[in-house]
Chain A
Amino acid sequence: MTPPLASVRILDLTAGVSGPWCTKLLADYGAHVIQAERPGVGDESRGHGPFPGGIPDRERSALFLWLNTSKRSITLDIATATGRELALRLAAQCDTVVVDRSASELERLRLTHEDFAAVNPRIVTTSVTAFGLSGPYADWRATNLTSYATGGQHYLTGDGDREPIQNGGYQALYQAGTWAFGATLAAVWNARETGVGQRAEVAGQEVMAAILEIYMPDFAYRKAETLLTRRGNMATAVVGIYPVIDGHIGIHAMPKNWPQLLDALDMHWMAEDERFQDNRARLRNNDELMAQLYTWTAGVTKAEAYERGGQYRAPISPVNTMADLLASPHLDARGFFREVEHPATGTMRYPGSPARLPATEPAVRPAPLLGQHNAEVYGEMLGISARELAALSAVGVI
């Protein structure tokens, strides 16, 4: 079976989270991804960890191992004249080059879309940055925290009487990568149709500003600030996180789920109570409803609450831990996790792909060692001999 993106070849000049997540998705669906890393140190995420035993080792960073499966690694210093030329020669044979630097940096390196298009008119240059290639923030330094801050979601996350918090991990960076993955495919589709490439640009701030649920649309339309506050763990009594005996559960009931929720809670008397008669009444009596739910949740476990939710088709979920995920009978039955063996970290269970394309599910390969594929890539694609590679390595180009 041919993986869906088997015909797509990618040169990846990114590091960190956003760009590598974008190219990991491409690679896991079968695209041939060549990841160019800085000679000596490699992708910055190799230094981030977490590491086994807490001991830094650039081949054993959980973040790097996760974000770089199925890719081939070469070392390449694109800031050198020879390195730049090698990048362009590789780009000439690729469908897409992915970059994550600012416009001014790319101009200084002479690695803009125009430079790539000069050697390959069909090429798609995917740019994924925090703030975009233009605009007053274009040269700002960014981390997940600052991306999250400028996207609007940060202000709304957390308790009203405390400071706003970001959500777990690197969500702003992941989202930018996910959207860059789609933008890349749209541009590749278009290049295949027309024979002409272009630059596909994704700015993390714009991604985050576009996923503000009802909050941004409502404010943009009515200019009312009613909804624009931090509301902690309870959007309403029936959209929130509750403590249970052994952890936490979440409830997210839409108005149409009310009867099923009462089934699951075994609280049918509420259907007769005028305080909870319809959605507006329930919102008016939100605190009383919440008190009822707290009483119920205090007497159940995560598994019991989830089972009742499933039995009555009520939207109740456990707040799963990583251990819960790895032990989930449902994910197990679906074969979600995949065992991946890596030379430095052995075999671990990796999450599967976010979408299943069953006609074409490719095998996932472990993240590469730094420069693991130098001989293969430079040799096969550019015809560079082992002796020439040694010379390039000696001067720090690769």
Chain B
Amino acid sequence: MSDGDMRPATARLPLEGVRVLDLTMVWAGPSGTRLLADMGAEVIKVESARSWDMLRSLHFLSGPPEQWWDKAAYFNHNNRNKYGITLDLQTARGRELALRLVAMSDVVFENYRADVIGKLGLDYADLRAVKDDIILVSMPSHGKSGPESGNVAYGTNVEQLAGLASLTGYPGMGPHKSPIAYGDPNAGAIAAAAALAALLHRRETGQGQHVEVAQWEAMIGNVGEFVLAWQMALRDDTAADIDAWSESQRRGNRHFSRVQGVYPCTGEDEWVAVSVGTDAEFAALCGVMGRADVVRDARFADVVSRRHHQDALDEIVTAWTRGRAQDEAAGVLQAAGVSAAPVLKLQRLLYDRNLRARGFWETVSHAAAGEWDVEGPVWRMSRTPAHVRIPAPMFGEHNGWVLGELLGLSEGEIAALEADGVTAREPQAGVHS
């Protein structure tokens, strides 16, 4: 327990006592195991000299510093609260030790391409042979079966496959991507929850299982109402054209039953988001703008006509927002009962007063990378509040503890593993360039 930890001594973190062997890399898998690590699960991340987490190498523009593998912010954000070891799973000895760790674990996570885990000899059957009730969570992009299971896809591919990109975009324009690899954290959050569902099931029945999170499938639910809406549209008109229909769904910031958008404020590229549904909200907006005439304007008499004349209404709102700072505009509108918020730049998000008041950002101190702010655990528990307990592991940082204490290897055996290249202190350069 760290010095700053305010937990009462009796309140164990929710997942204390749950051990997770984490074979995942990059973002999707690690974001899922991070959720469990935040809640107190003992997550042991496995890398090796020739197969290490690519995020360790992402040093945009600044160029790689000395000991670069321990200093990438992206890696360090996604792997806090975890332990890290090196173990080359492609060697017989590495595989054998990994299986010994499996025998001591509750859950194993992997996000290799569908066929890789089998080639490593670490398929579900292999794991069950050493731990009958093990829970294996696999996260292949397309799933482990089906004609396209050999395909490769990363986060932005996932939102394209799942149909989200076809629904995103400026009105009248083509599909648009999310700025982030959105499929990754989506699959991670689903995988973490699925692991917990499997744990609860094991608790009731004594049985483990092989959980499969196909990242493509994991995102389709997020647009499930469109899947139903298209079927309804086809019933209304069997000749309905999917491309025209998809384009009609790409509304930018607009909505089919509310009047909403983002409006320019003072400051470079600063905007306030405003969303108005009912007549009462619309009257409140007009009251704030001092435009009683607009409330009475026949073009804006009800929700339907406001949507029909939104271009004209947008000009009126813009005339009001243009001279105001985004926080001021949002604050005045909220005080009047209008849904409004600043479109926060990331430079501002880090200092946002709501997140700061809630203690969302926590300062982490890392032996190689120094000190900076990271987001705290997002699952907030009232009786067992969680924090960043330990920074992300340096490469192979916990080899001694895991191999020595958990597996009971002697110092000589541990040294031999390193001499044989089964463990390593540094990643091989060039693997991800």
C-alpha spacing A141/B345, complex, angstroms: 20
Contact between A256 and B190 (Cβ–Cβ < 8 Å)?
no
Contact between A240 and B177 (Cβ–Cβ < 8 Å)?
yes
Of A289-297, A346-354, A372-380, the one with at least 4 CB within 8 A of chain B:
A346-354
The A-contacting residues of B in range 221-246, CB under 8 angstroms, are 221-233, 235-236, 242-243, 245-246
- Chain B contacts of A202 at CB under 8 A? 378-380
Across the interface, A186 reaches (CB within 8 A) one of B31, B191, B379, namely B379
8 tightest CB-CB pairs across the interface, nearest first? A168-B167, A221-B73, A182-B193, A190-B14, A355-B194, A156-B179, A198-B383, A185-B196
- Chain B contacts of A150 at CB under 8 A? 341-342, 344, 349, 352, 354
Contact between B152 and A314 (Cβ–Cβ < 8 Å)?
yes
The A-contacting residues of B in range 248-300, CB under 8 angstroms, are 249-250, 252-253, 255-258, 260-262, 264, 271, 273, 275, 277
Verify if B35 is at the interface (C-beta below 8 Å from A).
yes
The B-contacting residues of A in range 303-352, CB under 8 angstroms, are 306, 309-310, 313-326, 329-331, 333-334, 336, 345, 348-352
B side interface size, CB within 8 A: 158
Verify if B350 is at the interface (C-beta below 8 Å from A).
yes
Contact between A318 and B160 (Cβ–Cβ < 8 Å)?
yes
Contact between B236 and A53 (Cβ–Cβ < 8 Å)?
yes
Verify if B360 is at the interface (C-beta below 8 Å from A).
yes
- Chain A contacts of B207 at CB under 8 A? 359
Contact with B along A20-49 (1 / 0, CB 8 A): 000001000100000000000000000011
C-alpha spacing A59/B297, complex, angstroms: 34
C-alpha spacing A165/B255, complex, angstroms: 12
Q: Would you give 17 A-B contacts (Cβ < 8 Å), ordered by A? A: A52-B235, A52-B236, A53-B236, A62-B229, A140-B341, A141-B338, A157-B168, A169-B225, A178-B193, A183-B380, A190-B384, A202-B379, A230-B179, A255-B432, A321-B166, A348-B231, A350-B224
Contact between A322 and B246 (Cβ–Cβ < 8 Å)?
yes
- A50-B229, A62-B229, A322-B246 known; A164 and B271 CB under 8 Å? yes
A side interface size, CB within 8 A: 161
Across the interface, A163 reaches (CB within 8 A) one of B271, B339, B380, namely B271
Verify if B112 is at the interface (C-beta below 8 Å from A).
no
Contact between A186 and B15 (Cβ–Cβ < 8 Å)?
yes
Of B83-91, B211-219, B394-402, B414-422, the one with at least 4 CB within 8 A of chain A:
B211-219
Contact between A29 and B197 (Cβ–Cβ < 8 Å)?
yes
CB proximity of A280 to chain B, nearest CB, Å? 8
- Chain A contacts of B184 at CB under 8 A? 213
CB proximity of A21 to chain B, nearest CB, Å? 8
- Chain A contacts of B433 at CB under 8 A? 255, 278-279
